[in-house]
Structure 1
Amino acid sequence: MEFLRSKKGQGANVPAPGTRVAGAAAEDRALAYLQQAGLALVQRNYRTAGRGGGEVDLIMREPDGTLVFVEVRSRGRATHGGAGASIGAVKRRRIVFAAQCFLLRWPAPPPCRFDAVLIDEGRLQWLRGAFEAC
């Protein structure tokens, strides 16, 4: 009965251990799917520093050189709009911020896009160009 466990002493945004395990499994599945589709892993779980920073679950590279910043979302049930509905404006802003920080390493950044891999009730869906940076 993990939902009854107190989160006292934990940060408000710290997921429960079961949630972390499920999230890592979803990222593993998304990574395998994208690699099978011909993308190469550049970095996993890229995080920026600070409280308002962001994270990119997977940074991939297309065969043509395009960098793909991937948000992976998984839901066991499709209630509340499913996995896609959980990528709100604040989450998108944080992903874009993290991507901008990541790109500071590049003297001439390649073309980029933001994708989402959604896993709803076990079904995987890859949304290319799920949102824009603006």
Structure 2
Amino acid sequence: MNRAEIGRRGEAVAARYYQKQGCTLLVHNYRVKMGEIDLILREPDGTIVLCEVKTRSPDPLASPAEAVTLAKQRKLIRATKYYLQQTGQSDEPARFDVAEVTPLDSGRWMVHIIKGAFTA
């Protein structure tokens, strides 16, 4: 499995994880010129969740979330503002999460969600 395929599978795993928690998947891979949002979901309480998914092999020295740099956060924030304006949801509560997804040797996946990983 190549890197792109691992990333796609990791995003799908994270989406299923959120859905099992009662979230509704609104958009998968929202792309505009200012950036991309991996997952856009709505929690049962109405909160919109903008999730950056990082899929990495296990590494005790670095967490996948460390790859969400300040520059990446700025791109996500710009793309989110555009999405919320275009969909008429600018007044809705929103949160930025990072999903760390790690493939395990058993063929299973470990998902760790960092809720509110950063703010706009």
Give the greater-gyration-radius structure (CA). 1
Structure 2 residues without counterparts, runs of 5 or longer: 105-109
Q: 1:44/1:80 Cα in 2 relative to 1: closer, same or farther (>3 Å)?
A: same
The one of 41, 50, 56 aligned to 1:60: 41
Residue aligning to 1:6: none
Q: 1:108/1:95 Cα in 2 relative to 1: closer, same or farther (>3 Å)?
A: closer
1:25 and 2:12 correspond: no
Normalized per residue, which structure has more strand? 2
8 Å Cα contact 2:54-2:98 kept in structure 1: yes
Distance 1:81 1:107 in 2: 35
Structure 1 residues without counterparts, runs of 5 or longer: 1-16
Query: How does the TM-score come out when normalised to structure 1?
Result: 0.79
CA deviation vs aligned residue, 1:56-115 (integer Å, no higher than 9, x gap): 000000111111000000111316512011111011111111101101121653100101
Residue aligning to 2:107: none
Distance 2:30 2:61 in 1: 28
8 Å Cα contact 2:100-2:112 kept in structure 1: yes
Higher relative contact order (CA 8 A, sep 6+): 2
Distance 1:89 1:130 in 2: 12
Q: State percent identity of aligned pairs.
A: 32
The one of 103, 106, 115 aligned to 1:128: 115
Runs of 4 or more above 2 Å deviation = 120-123
What does residue range 74-113 of structure 1 map to in structure 2 within 5 Å?
74-78=55-59, 81-105=62-86, 106=88, 108-113=90-95
